[in-house]
Amino acid sequence: MSLIDHPDNPIPDGAETGFVVTPDKVKIRYAHWHAAGQQRRGTVTLLQGRAEFIEKYFEIIEDLRSRGFAVVTFDWRGQGGSQRLTRNPRRGHVSSFKKFRIDLRTVLKQVSLATYPGPHFALAHSTGGLVLLSDTERLRTMLDRAVITAPLLGLPSGAWTPDFASAWRWGLRKLSFGLLGRPPLKATAPKTSAFVEKVGFPLARLFSWTGFGRVFVPGGNGEIFVPFETNRQTSDKVRFERFNKVLEKAPELGVGAPTMGWVNAAARTMLSLRKRDAGPNLKLPCLVLAAGNDRVVSTPAIEDFVSRTKAAAYVEIPGAAHELMMERDVFRDQFWAAFDAFIPGLEAEQELIRALQ
């Protein structure tokens, strides 16, 4: 499947596309671009979030190329232009995140490392960030540094279920004349959704064990369009509508709600990163950015994870929604300032200067 061109979202010049086949025989669509301009600063491999596709990142690809980076990106199995895993191609399904790790390693070995010189970096978003963080021991031999935006390390408290607690606290305050029912302090508030983790995760595990892992999550369906007014991803209407126009032209790129199997696979990976040794075992130097107004993933859970590491730095962008790279310019500018300060890094910059002398 070739890249989809749209007047509002043109394909960056010089694109080279193709498919790689993973060791478990899944076709993964990829694309790559040489760096623009005279200066060459390395290669960036882009890792998408859930239900995304290469075309959604054209603007970011141009931004990276203008900075002197070659860019490689791909669609995870089951989404975009890569091979789908269910009879209904709209089901966002995977049985284990180990399979996503296979996708990433395959693209790095057969495309990124085989095509472009180093240093090699990763830029990962959301689900892509979770995949990367779960495999840093192996990836440390392939990548020099990574920047991760809003990694999926937990679901936000109160964002995915009706906030019955707020109504209960309101009634309690009225009955007690304000003595009881005050909301908890931010420092003591739950970092993730207790309902999802205590009810949703076990339910997803049960469905997976009993052969129903490919059914949509409760209330989910194959709908790929979301109105801007109800979206949780970005506050930038122009960029949001641009992606919808691509899907209108090529709906085969879209994926609907996740399956119970996908949720079970994500849950197992998220919970593995909460183990005591998960943070200290992180060896790949990372910059982790979180969105202050994220309603898709838990920002407190991200901050908590980074606080347990020695190889990662943390930056939170106040007021921003989940998709930091596709937010309004006031937020994107802060993302790029952090990126530019961390990539390629002082050591790599010095090596590059010496090589050019």
pLDDT tens, residue by residue, 91-121:
999 999 999 999 999 999 999 999 999 999 9
Residue with tokens 């064990």: 209
Per-residue pLDDT, averaged over 279-293, amounts to: 93
Per-residue pLDDT, averaged over 29-47, amounts to: 93
Model confidence at 47: pLDDT above 70:
yes
What pLDDT is stored for residue 182 in this prediction? Answer: 63
DSSP 303-341: HHHHHT-SSEEEEEETT--S-GGGS-HHHHHHHHHHHHH
| DSSP letter (8 states) at residue 142 | T
Mean pLDDT, the chain, rounded, equals 90
**Which among 146, 78, 81, 82 is positioned nearest to 112, based on CA atoms?**
146
Token digits for 80?
């975009």
**Which among 143, 56, 139 is positioned nearest to 102, based on CA atoms?**
139
**Which among 276, 272, 268 is positioned nearest to 308, based on CA atoms?**
276
Output phi, psi for 72, to 5 deg.
-125, 135
Model confidence at 19: pLDDT above 60:
yes
What pLDDT is stored for residue 193 in this prediction? Answer: 72
Instruction: Please report which confidence band the pLDDT of residue 168 belongs to, taking 50, 70 and 90 as the band edges.
Output: very low
Per-residue pLDDT, averaged over 28-56, amounts to: 95
Per-residue pLDDT, averaged over 138-144, amounts to: 95
Model confidence at 356: pLDDT above 50:
no
What pLDDT is stored for residue 352 in this prediction? Answer: 47
Q: Can you tell me the distance from the alpha carbon of 326 to that of 235, in angstroms, rounded to the nearest whole number?
A: 9
The H-or-E segment that residue 60 falls in is: helix 58-66
Cβ atoms of 52 and 24 within 8 Å: the answer is: no
> What pTM was computed for the model?
0.89
Cβ atoms of 33 and 5 within 8 Å: the answer is: no
Per-residue pLDDT, averaged over 231-252, amounts to: 96
Cβ atoms of 109 and 116 within 8 Å: the answer is: no
| Percent of the chain's residues with pLDDT above 70 | 87
The H-or-E segment that residue 128 falls in is: helix 127-133
Bigger pLDDT: 168 or 175?
175
What pLDDT is stored for residue 281 in this prediction? Answer: 86
**Three-class DSSP category at 140:** coil
Phi and psi based region of residue 286 (left: phi greater than 0; alpha: psi -120 to 50; beta: remaining) = beta
How many helices (H) and strands (E) are present in the chain, helices listed first? 13, 8
Token digits for 223?
């709908």
User: How many angstroms separate the Cα of 53 from the Cα of each of 23, 138, 334?
Assistant: 22, 25, 24
Q: Can you tell me the distance from the alpha carbon of 42 to that of 118, in angstroms, rounded to the nearest whole number?
A: 5
Domain annotation for the chain: domains and CATH numbers = 16-157+192-356 (3.40.50.1820)
Cβ atoms of 45 and 122 within 8 Å: the answer is: yes
Per-residue pLDDT, averaged over 246-252, amounts to: 97
Q: Which residues make beta-bridge pairs with 71?
A: 33, 44
The H-or-E segment that residue 121 falls in is: strand 120-125
Q: Tens of pLDDT along 289-329?
A: 999 999 999 999 999 999 999 899 999 999 999 999 999 99
Residue type present at position 256 = G
